[in-house]
């Protein structure tokens, strides 16, 4: 076929390799091409409308085509379209955003370091803590503990923090020095008769045992999402974070809160650390920081962490780390405007209210034969599908039910995400009660279609 006669779909298959995609399957199936967005909806290049029940990738807080964010980007592009932050250079948007983030932080923080993505930010945190511990004369204090099913990114280092097999198989990660403890999913991993608090006690003891085994002098930090997002929207059990923090403080181990998904209203408070009573030494922010209108992430560090890094940069003559686009003037200008809108429109409180509507609506499916658990907090939720509600067993292979339902939802005009057999919901913070009802209606039909498919498959 002549190159000029290729459709956009054919060009995509011919030239484009996609993330999180089966490349061979894509060669035959082709892409869904999204052409534009408006509010909580996106539209494909055939004009079909979809409600974006995942905010893109957990991130478009203000929905699509917000004019104030577009104007903030245009204004900054006309003024200073790019400048870097290397060698003490700066520009007003990055300075003002750093100040704003320190002011908003739920615990005292000292400095902000900008990157382009959450993966880069988590990679950077590991390097900075290695750097700090070298400055403190603790060269052995380099290991990191995170959790199974955690998601912290996909660079070699951040994928080592991650605890999801699909992000590690075939990539030779995790690297040495990255350890994982159990996932705090009460529904899946609690023992028979165990209460949430007893489950939390057991996980805290597991962490303590691992630290003792490895040696506290070798552990730099414990790494955790306040609520685990990509691992299945896992809400921690009661007292979990209180007990985990107590273990870390006992052994002089720093706490890093990965707020990439949780930050800026998603859990019903400005930060997930507030929702779950976490007092981190380091926070990582991205996604809803700019509503993903621009790529940006931010690391907040407290003074305890900063002082060692500052001493080391002075001793060595520089902090030899940074990104060309880190703290980009357009990205920081858009993020500043985004945070203003979230505050002015009381979207954190609004999200908490809409989250109640969403969870209340999802709970009516608890009696359905395919629904094992409904969970969530704030405006983020998940429904876990099972083939057998008594045993919690999946259908044939983990993920098949989830993939089918997500595909049916897309056919019906809604974009959700399946993680194994858990269906995630993370609609924009601006979602109205009408939008939430549209999500629930589409899910109900998708679930019914999945049940009929399940019954047919089981009968074959």
**Partners of residue 385 on adjacent β-strands:** 371
Q: In sequence order, what are the beta bridge partners of 376? A: 381
Q: Across residues 397-417, what is the average pLDDT?
A: 96
Query: Can you tell me the distance from the alpha carbon of 76 to that of 73, in angstroms, rounded to the nearest whole number?
Result: 5
Cα(401)–Cα(454) distance, integer angstroms = 8
Return left, alpha or beta for 143; rule: phi > 0 is left, psi -120 to 50 is alpha, else beta. beta
Q: How far, CA to CA in Å, does 251 sit from each of 65, 215, 218, 243, 248? A: 48, 9, 10, 13, 5
Site of tokens 């660079």: 155
Q: For the chain, how many helices (H) and strands (E)?
A: 16, 15
Structure tokens at 455: 């019954």
Average pLDDT for 313-318:
97
What is the structure's pLDDT at 460? 62
What pLDDT shows up at residue 395? Answer: 86
SS3 breakdown of the chain: % helix, strand, coil, rounded to 5? 45, 15, 40
Tokens coding 386: 């099972």
415-443 confidence digits (pLDDT tens): 999 999 999 999 999 999 999 999 999 99
Of 334, 261, 343, the residue nearest 295 (C-alpha): 334
Q: What is the pTM of this model?
A: 0.96
Domains of the chain are 32-65+346-459 (3.90.1150.10), 68-344 (3.40.640.10)
- Non-local CB neighbours of 316 within 8 Å, separated by 6+ positions: none
Q: Report how far residue 340's alpha carbon sits from residue 28's, in angstroms, rounded to the nearest whole number.
A: 44
Residue 189 confidence (pLDDT): 97
For 357-369, what is each residue's pLDDT tens digit? Answer: 999 999 999 999 9
- 3-class state of residue 214 by DSSP: helix
Sign (positive or negative) of CA dihedral 328, 331, 337, 339: negative
> How many angstroms separate the CA atoms of 395 and 370, rounded?
10
The answer to whether 309 touches 132, Cβ cutoff 8 Å, is: yes
pLDDT tens digits, one per residue of 172-194? 999 999 999 999 999 999 999 99
Residue 129 · residue 220 · CB < 8 Å: yes
How many CB atoms lie under 10 A from the CB of residue 109? 23
């Amino acid at each position: 076929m002549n190159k000029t006669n290729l459709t956009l779909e054919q060009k995509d298959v011919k030239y484009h390799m996609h993330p999180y995609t089966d490349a061979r399957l894509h060669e035959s199936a082709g892409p869904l091409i999204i052409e534009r967005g408006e509010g909580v909806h996106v539209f494909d290049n055939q004009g079909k409308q979809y409600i974006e029940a995942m905010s893109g990738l957990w991130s478009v807080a203000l929905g699509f085509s917000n004019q104030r964010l577009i104007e903030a980007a245009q204004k900054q592009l006309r003024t200073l379209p790019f400048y870097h932050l290397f060698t003490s250079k700066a520009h007003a948007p990055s300075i003002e955003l750093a100040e704003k983030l320190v002011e908003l932080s739920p615990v005292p923080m000292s400095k902000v370091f900008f990157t382009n993505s959450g993966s880069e930010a988590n990679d950077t945190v590991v390097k900075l803590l290695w750097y700090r511990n070298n400055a403190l004369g603790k060269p052995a204090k380099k290991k990191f503990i995170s959790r199974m099913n955690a998601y912290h990114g996909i660079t070699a280092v951040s994928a080592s923090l991650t605890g999801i097999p699909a992000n590690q198989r075939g990539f030779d990660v995790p690297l040495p020095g990255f350890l994982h403890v159990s996932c705090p999913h009460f529904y899946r991993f609690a023992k028979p008769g165990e209460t949430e608090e007893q489950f939390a006690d057991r996980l805290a003891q597991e962490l303590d045992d691992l630290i003792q085994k490895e040696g506290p002098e070798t552990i730099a930090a414990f790494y955790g999402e306040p609520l685990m997002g990509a691992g299945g929207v896992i809400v921690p059990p009661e007292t979990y974070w209180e007990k985990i923090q107590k273990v870390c403080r006992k052994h002089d181990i720093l706490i890093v809160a990965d707020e990439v998904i949780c930050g800026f209203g998603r859990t019903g408070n400005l930060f997930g650390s507030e929702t779950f009573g976490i007092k981190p030494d380091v926070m990582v922010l991205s996604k809803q920081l700019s509503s993903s209108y621009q790529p940006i992430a931010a690391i907040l560090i407290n003074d305890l962490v900063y002082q060692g890094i500052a001493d080391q940069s002075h001793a060595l003559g520089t902090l030899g780390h940074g990104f060309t686009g880190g703290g980009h003037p357009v990205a920081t200008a858009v993020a500043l405007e985004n945070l203003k809108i979230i505050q002015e429109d009381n979207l954190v409180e609004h999200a908490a209210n809409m989250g109640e509507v969403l969870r209340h609506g999802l709970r009516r499916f608890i009696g359905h034969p395919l629904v094992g658990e409904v969970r969530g907090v704030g405006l983020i939720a998940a429904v876990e599908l099972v083939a057998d509600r008594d045993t919690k067993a999946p259908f044939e292979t983990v993920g098949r039910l989830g993939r089918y339902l997500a595909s049916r939802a897309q056919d019906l005009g809604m974009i959700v995400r399946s993680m194994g057999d858990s269906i995630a919901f993370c609609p924009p913070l601006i979602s109205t009660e009408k939008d939430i009802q549209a999500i629930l209606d589409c899910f109900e039909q998708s679930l019914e279609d999945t049940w009929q498919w399940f019954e047919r498959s089981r009968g074959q």
